[in-house]
Structure 1
Amino acid sequence: MVRIGYTMMSEQAGPRELVGHVAAAERAGFDFSVVSDHSFPWLDAQGHSPYAWSVLGAAAQATSRIPLMTYVTCPSFRYHPAVVAQKAATVQLLSEGRFRLGLGSGENLNEHVIGGGWPSARVRLERLEEAVEIIRSLFGGGYVSYHGVHFQVENAKLWDLPAEPPPIGVAVSGERSCALAGTHGDLLIATEPKRELLSAFDAHGGAGKPRVGQLPVCYDTDREAAVARAHEQFRWSLGGWKVNAELPGPAGFAQASAHVRPEDLAAAVPCGDDVEAFVDAVRPYVEAGFDEIALVQIGGDRQDPFLDWSERTLLPALADL
């Protein structure tokens, strides 16, 4: 049976709110949770971007059952991979084994803040591969030195290691990232229900490993209000990752999405309270072969109604999948 998750969307809510939301998602019966790791929101209208790792530490203490996961952390620009390994090991200990480390090659939106420029996708994937190798070595215990093309590590060691290290997920968008995920990852992460991504993942060693997808939704008893909110806060999502990985800030996303209409969002994102429309939006992920789908409720101040409705209506309907 497919597992349904809840997304702590850090671009649309403050840190205390995010922790409260994931605690409520646990009570509502969601199977797992994920959190975005950003330094900027996609659009000014979203209005937030707290430090995801502090949120995770608090969430680990505010919950007792629901698994936690980064969706996703870039371990190769803002953060050095040795620092990511320490953070992930600590959250795994705090959560008593409920944490998974989701990694990706990053977006200019978040990584530009260190002023190091933004290299090609090929270089970003090279950096990600080295980062995963370093993190795995540190999870193995002992002292680690690493001399790669992009990263250097000298006698690093994690002094607080969990008995079971966090599984590592790798975000994919094409053949090369799928090969990296299949070879180096414990699970696949994607934002589109493309069967060809899973096939490429399997071809490179991913067969039998979990695959996690993500889907934005916009619940509201007033469908017009839901469509308007989705358009205001999520129109950036229709740009595709070849665009979204390159733009440096919310102003660029606002300009790039200026001609996206509310009806365009309504066609791509289930809006309103028709539960069948939400089930129909999840179904392509199930049919493609995803094991887990994390839902993103659009609107930081509209989480409580969504979670109440999910417990009563949406999660029972999705169980039939």
Structure 2
Amino acid sequence: MTEFGYFLSCEEFGPVELVEQARMAEQAGFQSLWISDHFHPWNGEQGQSPFVWSVIGALSEAVSLPVQTAVTCPTVRMHPAIVAQAAATAAVQLGGRFRLGVGSGEALNEHIMGGPWPSARVRLDMLEEAVQLIRNLFDGNEVSHDGRHYKLENARLYTVPDEPVPIDISAFGPKAMSLASRVGDGLITMTPDEGAVTRFRKGGGRAKPVSGGYKVCYGPDRAAAVDTAHRLWANEQLPGEMGQILSTPRHFEQVSQLVTKEMVADKVVCGDDVDAHVGRLRAYTDAGFDRVFVNQIGPDQRGFFDFYRTKVLPQVQEP
């Protein structure tokens, strides 16, 4: 049975708003939460970027839903050992209802430390080593490590959950998909691509969960919703590797000028057509996804949650 969750956007909302959205998500019938992990927003219009681990601590007291980062980069901005400590503490706070989502990251968030931005091949190699290091620390034993990318001396996590935190890996291309199949406890990918799910399963993913997420812009005026989606999230329609290699919100603002409102309207479900919203959810379930997360763009959060509670979720959730 597919699980339907809400995707909290740390790029668009501050910590207090995110916690309130989580409460509304639980009341609306969503079953779990994703939360993004960024140092910068993608552009100035989004305008926020709270420290995700502080927000997760607040979520543990505010709601009873499971939480997952989507996704954390554990390779450059934060050493894997610090990510392991943060994730272990989050799992304890949430009573085991925490999964760590990881990925190879974007220059937008990681270049701030001043070093070079590695190639995609090197970033995936760093990610694999980081995941193994994090898992070793989750055991609660003392760990020393002298690897290709990371060193650690006499490190031990004293606050650990009863069970190790599951680590899901974000993947889009074939090399990342292979890594997710071999190393991950699950797959995170954004496109409802049945072929990608099949490759993950055949590559070693088997019965591991596949999770996906996307954005919508609910509102009674579709044209206004398209305007909002274009103003805030035009960057999502940029092709290729730009999302990984551009280094500042200013750069994303510049290239997003190439994205038209028509492009956004074609890709993002906007407005209040129930069939369109239900159809997007079913595209993921039909592709074999186990968990699907939806994010509402813009300020009309309460309207979105009322709409999904009364008209959308009842059509896709099994009784």
> 5+ unaligned residues in a row in structure 2: which ranges?
none
| Match status 1:212 vs 2:188 | no
Once residues 137 and 73 of structure 1 are traced to their aligned partners in structure 2, the CA distance between those partners, rounded to angstroms, is 18
SS of equivalent to 1:199: helix
Residues 281-296 of structure 1: pairs in structure 2 closer than 5 A: 281-296=280-295
Q: Does the 8 Å CA contact 1:174/1:197 hold for their aligned counterparts?
A: no
Residues 229-244 of structure 1: pairs in structure 2 closer than 5 A: 229-240=228-239, 242-244=241-243
What is the CA distance between 1:320 and its match in structure 2?
Answer: 6.4
SS of equivalent to 1:191: coil
| Match status 1:311 vs 2:309 | yes
Residues 88-167 of structure 1: pairs in structure 2 closer than 5 A: 88-167=87-166
Equivalent position amino acid for 1:285 in 2? Y
The total of aligned residue pairs comes to 319
Once residues 114 and 275 of structure 1 are traced to their aligned partners in structure 2, the CA distance between those partners, rounded to angstroms, is 45
What is the CA distance between 1:5 and its match in structure 2?
Answer: 0.8
> 5+ unaligned residues in a row in structure 1: which ranges?
none
Q: Does the 8 Å CA contact 1:73/1:104 hold for their aligned counterparts?
A: yes
Once residues 259 and 275 of structure 2 are traced to their aligned partners in structure 1, the CA distance between those partners, rounded to angstroms, is 25
Once residues 318 and 225 of structure 2 are traced to their aligned partners in structure 1, the CA distance between those partners, rounded to angstroms, is 25
Q: Does the 8 Å CA contact 1:275/1:317 hold for their aligned counterparts?
A: no
Q: Does the 8 Å CA contact 2:171/2:187 hold for their aligned counterparts?
A: yes
Once residues 83 and 195 of structure 2 are traced to their aligned partners in structure 1, the CA distance between those partners, rounded to angstroms, is 30
What is the CA distance between 1:317 and its match in structure 2?
Answer: 2.1
Give the corresponding residue for 2:67: 68
Equivalent position amino acid for 1:155 in 2? N
Deviation track 1:53-92 (CA, whole Å, cap 9, x = no partner) reads: 100010011112x110000000001110000110001000
Once residues 21 and 157 of structure 1 are traced to their aligned partners in structure 2, the CA distance between those partners, rounded to angstroms, is 35
Equivalent position amino acid for 2:141 in 1? G
Deviation track 1:196-245 (CA, whole Å, cap 9, x = no partner) reads: 32222223210100000011111011111101000001110011352211
Give the corresponding residue for 1:4: 4
What is the CA distance between 1:138 and its match in structure 2?
Answer: 0.7
Once residues 320 and 244 of structure 1 are traced to their aligned partners in structure 2, the CA distance between those partners, rounded to angstroms, is 36
Q: Does the 8 Å CA contact 2:186/2:209 hold for their aligned counterparts?
A: yes
Deviation track 1:255-308 (CA, whole Å, cap 9, x = no partner) reads: 212121112111101000111001122222122211111101111x22121112
Give the corresponding residue for 1:277: 276
Q: Does the 8 Å CA contact 1:12/1:46 hold for their aligned counterparts?
A: yes
Once residues 192 and 256 of structure 1 are traced to their aligned partners in structure 2, the CA distance between those partners, rounded to angstroms, is 22
SS of equivalent to 2:258: coil
SS of equivalent to 1:240: coil
What is the CA distance between 1:109 and its match in structure 2?
Answer: 0.7
Question: Is the alpha carbon distance of 1:241 and 1:54 closer, same or farther for their aligned partners in structure 2, counting shifts above 3 Å?
Answer: farther
Once residues 269 and 159 of structure 1 are traced to their aligned partners in structure 2, the CA distance between those partners, rounded to angstroms, is 44
What is the CA distance between 1:318 and its match in structure 2?
Answer: 2.4
What is the CA distance between 1:194 and its match in structure 2?
Answer: 1.8
SS of equivalent to 1:245: helix
Once residues 214 and 202 of structure 1 are traced to their aligned partners in structure 2, the CA distance between those partners, rounded to angstroms, is 19
Give the corresponding residue for 1:19: 19
What is the CA distance between 1:112 and its match in structure 2?
Answer: 1.2
Q: Does the 8 Å CA contact 2:238/2:259 hold for their aligned counterparts?
A: no
TM (normalized to structure 2)? 0.97
Equivalent position amino acid for 2:61 in 1? Q
Give the corresponding residue for 1:175: 174
What is the CA distance between 1:195 and its match in structure 2?
Answer: 2.3
SS of equivalent to 1:307: helix
Once residues 134 and 176 of structure 1 are traced to their aligned partners in structure 2, the CA distance between those partners, rounded to angstroms, is 20
Q: Does the 8 Å CA contact 1:172/1:197 hold for their aligned counterparts?
A: no
Q: Does the 8 Å CA contact 1:89/1:139 hold for their aligned counterparts?
A: yes
SS of equivalent to 1:216: strand
Equivalent position amino acid for 1:24 in 2? M
Give the corresponding residue for 1:79: 78
Equivalent position amino acid for 1:167 in 2? P
